[in-house]
Amino acid sequence: MIIKRSDRYAVRTYHVGRQVWVGTYRTLKEAREAERTALVQKRPTRDETIKDFAERWLRDFKRPRASTNRHNGYMVKPLVSELGHLRLADVTRRQAREWALRHRYSVPVVRAMFNDALNEECVTTNPFANLRLDQSRGRKDLNVISHAELDALGDQP
């Protein structure tokens, strides 16, 4: 909706029954362009907090195995305790990265939770996707002993 105010034009739109202020513009052309951009912009459809969605996710998005569901419950607890008060859509990539650096073990589960939130249109992007965290090298640096060394160890009294 465009409203003329003195020599300027104000723009506001409505999303999920709520008024969203877009801005004030000098020309009608600028105001129409801003309104058009605001109307096509993808927005989250819900205002759920992380805590609320995590509870719903554990209840409604169950995985086939009970052990996986139990594990997921343990892994989202640190996120809920630190960022549970925030809306899902308000989590920035910077906050996600800072949290992920402190809780690397929980990142895959939290990423899956945000993917389900993305599919439910609760968020427009997954802030935990593509964080480019250093990966574990696993067993790559292990030095395996040779058969001769193993035999020599076996021959010792």
* Structure confidence at residue 20 (pLDDT): 80
- Can you tell me the distance from the alpha carbon of 53 to that of 30, in angstroms, rounded to the nearest whole number? 38
- Can you tell me the distance from the alpha carbon of 62 to that of 44, in angstroms, rounded to the nearest whole number? 23
Same domain, 55 and 114: yes
Number of folded domains that form the chain: 2
* Structure confidence at residue 45 (pLDDT): 60
Same domain, 28 and 63: no
Same domain, 92 and 31: no
Task: Provide the CB-side half-sphere exposure for 6 (13 A, CA).
Answer: 4
pTM (global) more than 0.85: no
Residue 147: other Cβ atoms inside 10 A: 7
Please report whether residue 78 resides in a domain.
yes
Same domain, 8 and 29: yes
Same domain, 54 and 15: no
Confidence of residue 16 (pLDDT cuts 50, 70, 90): low
pLDDT of 155 higher than 80: yes
Please report whether residue 81 resides in a domain.
yes
- Can you tell me the distance from the alpha carbon of 142 to that of 59, in angstroms, rounded to the nearest whole number? 41
Residue 87's DSSP bridge partners are 49
- Can you tell me the distance from the alpha carbon of 50 to that of 79, in angstroms, rounded to the nearest whole number? 8
Write out the residue range of the structural domain in which residue 68 sits: 50-119
Same domain, 111 and 68: yes
pLDDT tens sequence across 19-77: 788 899 999 999 999 988 887 776 666 788 999 999 999 999 999 999 999 999 999 99
pLDDT tens sequence across 96-148: 999 999 999 999 999 999 999 988 888 888 999 999 888 778 888 888 889 99
